[in-house]
Structure 1
């Protein structure tokens, strides 16, 4: 008999590496799908809004369609944890595990599907698609995936607070279920697994098992990670199959095998390529957010006659997914022209996801008010929005703040004005205070001139729609 544990060591290595490098990718896929569907519901589909989600979906969907669910079997960190819990349960000799699995699983020999519990995940997917993504239900509760994400990054410990939540309670239920039933969440609850199952029906890579060469052992069915009844099947491809190969390793007659010799490496390789391509596009897209949003900000500035921001660079902090996030806001000519994350304790995956949508919207609207959070990165989104709002409060802040941020400009303006007054260009003027108006960059600018002893003694710019610090007094020529 083949030793399954030796044959599956590549899978274990890939799972460990994936857990260290891309622990949140499984959740990001579902959130990206939600963002796209929400945009369709709201009639706000635009490349600017969904581009990050499109690149994220490209990490797995093309590979699942072409080669099958290798992402689920080899790369999903949530699946890896379930595999570990199942392995630990076996080692601890959980006697009630087998009885529980048989009773709950209820395989159907005819259909090869889980009846009826295997369809629960499709109900979960339908709930999100119809009620949550449509906006009918405001869902701001951290789910089990989000809680898992807070504990999955190396070097960060969020404490026990996340576990005292609905998501924390659900993840405990899932973990207990995973000890009793192999891949409990994947079989019965995973909404992204439901999507993968639907789109992988015509995958190119298949496991074949000629029935004429089968005995009566049914080991392939007994060992199947996803509980698929393989007894009456000549082959299995896509659908519930995650390509783990446990059925092949457990076959006493070497009857079950991949249709193509290097199917596992082809499947893993294609999935690696799509993940790498997706991450490259996301990084590139994140780098271009400032430029794209900056162009939109200029267009908005041309129409905005009520700018209240003082030129300068301002910082603000907010509470993100894992901790404090600090955002730097650059204001030029009264317009937000740059947004930069200075420091963050958040997970980079969630930050990138939130940054793409949040920063673009803020620069387009020239405001951090009424900005929608990014699906799947709700807490990171809130942190970025809060940090930007706090920075903009300084940009539009009180007199003390304005004086601190415009001290150099004020000094320069005072020196220029004094030089202009000392030049003595005006003579025989009537004493008094006069005002004059002229068209400027954002509208009319009103100037107040004070004349004492027939000489100009002061020139002041009265409050107008144009930011004060965009002007300096110029000498007459």
Structure 2
């Protein structure tokens, strides 16, 4: 029996190593999807069948937890494995012996529930972007690129170091006290069919099971343990000299080796079925209806049917190219054409981001925690393709007109000019965009007239962009797009707000409110990259004033800078309410 139990622990460590190598991001993907579920339910926009492709990891792990308790935590979670390895090093190399007081330990275990609640509140009220750069598991997932982690995930790296120090002294430090996903599993696992039986009347006074428990559960007081803090590591069964501790599934005592095999088989089965279902639903177009949004409404833009390609920049500057298929005016399929991104991070992000975009019919989706840069590359590439599906270039009409004077163009049979894909992403276009923004900045007071003039010119010279020009003209004449005009009444005055732009540069904006409306938006200071910021600033500020709202499109080619400006204006407007 002792050999069998030893083999179980060896098997557990082998499974941990395999999962650490093959699916290191499963934890972060699952937690990211937990946030999505919460937001969908809170907004009354939850459709389970349609959401399956975008929630596959969450469904896999949650079903495993419902059936088999917290086996995921004890056997499959890469971050839990990291905590185990750190503690093993401290125990066998540094010979650290530290024991947390039982009462203190029980109190500290409630901290993870507080963290979970705070994260959900912040995500739903301020958006998940505000938490970017603070995640320790993001820093952990990208630690091989230490320079990037140091510059973009500084807070996350600091937290990771603190967690590592904690794990040196307390086994499963993060899992016990800080893990928000562990808090979810602790609650859900209470209904699992698996439990650990340990009749106290047959126990001696050795308390061996308690001494080896990874989660510090006082097992000497328990008749049985079902879910909650137990991560099903089965170490208590290994150590018991009286063989008094057993695994029970659905009322039947099982050999622990068989029980662990059932758990592994359950995980593999659920993983396969869920991913197959996701693929079928996505291919069938069932998931294309709006089911997931990130605090914004799904894009109502009508796209032209066809297949379009677009490019974006991902991790370490790698170019991602995707193809987007439009059918009946909706996004029905997104596929990767090529990617120079780091494979591990790209593969971690692609499935979730693509499914979320199809589900929400919008590129306003969350990035995947642990693969933020790769996610943004995919989102930018899809947006670039969608711009073409709208009959517009990746920049505004003015930018295209300016760029066409400096870059090579292709003439179609109708005389319509279109920049090549390579030129649309070139430095020449960025320079042209900067010049155009400068001109716009000098004529802010005449924005509406300029847009009307441009719209008229476009309608006469460019048949391919008639609809886009008409929309711009309509927006200018009405002062705002009817779908985005806000009815919020602001207090008169000038307010400042900050946001985070490209390479985490801080942008500070001032917003002037007059007669309850947004009268002026100006830059106070910016630590953003000048070329990208100047490219975005004039267009975004003008659009916000015209729309009287911040739900305006980002400027393609300067997405991060655009988001920084929008976030800063939102921050200022929150003070004006």
CA contact (8 A) 1:334 1:467 kept: no
CA contact (8 A) 1:35 1:374 kept: no
| Paired residue secondary structure (2:242) | coil
1:114 aligns with 2:110: no
Moved more, 338-347 or 66-75: 338-347
2:147 is matched with 160
CA contact (8 A) 2:75 2:233 kept: yes
| Paired residue secondary structure (2:190) | coil
Alignment of 1:309-328 (within 5 A): 313-320=308-315, 323-328=317-322
2:126 paired residue among 132, 135, 140 = 135
For residues 163 and 467 of structure 1, do their structure 2 counterparts lie closer, same or farther at Cα, with a shift above 3 Å needed?
closer
Alignment of 1:83-94 (within 5 A): 83-94=84-95
CA distance in 1: counterparts of 2:127 and 2:308, whole angstroms: 39
1:232 is matched with 221
The alpha carbon displacement at 1:203 in A equals: 2.1
The alpha carbon displacement at 1:384 in A equals: 2.4
1:185 is matched with 174
CA distance in 2: counterparts of 1:302 and 1:218, whole angstroms: 63
2:141 is matched with 149
CA distance in 2: counterparts of 1:143 and 1:92, whole angstroms: 29
The alpha carbon displacement at 1:349 in A equals: 2.2
CA contact (8 A) 2:50 2:281 kept: no
The alpha carbon displacement at 1:388 in A equals: 3.8
CA contact (8 A) 2:196 2:225 kept: yes
CA distance in 1: counterparts of 2:300 and 2:356, whole angstroms: 22
CA contact (8 A) 1:107 1:114 kept: yes
Which runs of no fewer than 5 residues in structure 1 stay unpaired? 152-156, 295-299, 413-445, 449-459, 469-477
1:71 is matched with 72
- Normalising to structure 2: TM-score of the pair? 0.59
Cα RMSD between the aligned structures?
4.0
1:198 is matched with 187
1:212 aligns with 2:207: no
Q: Which has the higher contact order (CA 8 A, sep 6+)?
A: 1
- Normalising to structure 1: TM-score of the pair? 0.71
CA distance in 2: counterparts of 1:382 and 1:83, whole angstroms: 32
| Paired residue secondary structure (1:242) | coil
1:269 paired residue among 265, 269, 277 = 265
CA distance in 1: counterparts of 2:299 and 2:178, whole angstroms: 48
CA contact (8 A) 2:50 2:288 kept: no
Give per-residue Cα distances to partners, 1:212-236, cap 9 Å, x unaligned.
Answer: 2211111100010110001121111
The alpha carbon displacement at 1:185 in A equals: 0.6
2:23 is matched with 22
Give per-residue Cα distances to partners, 1:361-398, cap 9 Å, x unaligned.
Answer: 5xx46xx6xx2434646544422233344553646763
For residues 268 and 334 of structure 1, do their structure 2 counterparts lie closer, same or farther at Cα, with a shift above 3 Å needed?
closer
Alignment of 1:342-421 (within 5 A): 342-344=337-339, 345=341, 346-359=345-358, 361=360, 364=361, 371-374=364-367, 376=369, 378-390=372-384, 392=387, 394=393, 398=400, 407=411, 409=413
CA distance in 1: counterparts of 2:326 and 2:117, whole angstroms: 47
CA contact (8 A) 1:214 1:255 kept: yes
CA distance in 1: counterparts of 2:55 and 2:305, whole angstroms: 36
CA contact (8 A) 2:306 2:327 kept: yes
For residues 38 and 463 of structure 1, do their structure 2 counterparts lie closer, same or farther at Cα, with a shift above 3 Å needed?
closer
Relative to its length, the structure with more helix (as a share) is: 2
Give per-residue Cα distances to partners, 1:167-200, cap 9 Å, x unaligned.
Answer: 1111111122112111111101111111111111
CA contact (8 A) 2:60 2:274 kept: yes
For residues 214 and 461 of structure 1, do their structure 2 counterparts lie closer, same or farther at Cα, with a shift above 3 Å needed?
closer
| Paired residue secondary structure (1:64) | helix
CA contact (8 A) 2:197 2:224 kept: yes
For residues 331 and 301 of structure 1, do their structure 2 counterparts lie closer, same or farther at Cα, with a shift above 3 Å needed?
farther
| Paired residue secondary structure (1:343) | strand
CA distance in 2: counterparts of 1:92 and 1:461, whole angstroms: 72
1:244 is matched with 233
CA contact (8 A) 1:354 1:380 kept: no
For residues 325 and 42 of structure 1, do their structure 2 counterparts lie closer, same or farther at Cα, with a shift above 3 Å needed?
farther
CA contact (8 A) 1:314 1:330 kept: yes
CA contact (8 A) 2:135 2:156 kept: yes
The alpha carbon displacement at 1:119 in A equals: 0.8
For residues 48 and 324 of structure 1, do their structure 2 counterparts lie closer, same or farther at Cα, with a shift above 3 Å needed?
farther
CA contact (8 A) 1:24 1:149 kept: yes
Report the count of equivalent residues.
394
Moved more, 401-410 or 55-64: 401-410
CA distance in 1: counterparts of 2:353 and 2:126, whole angstroms: 19
CA contact (8 A) 2:194 2:247 kept: yes
CA distance in 2: counterparts of 1:340 and 1:47, whole angstroms: 23
Alignment of 1:391-470 (within 5 A): 392=387, 394=393, 398=400, 407=411, 409=413, 465=466
CA distance in 1: counterparts of 2:61 and 2:305, whole angstroms: 45
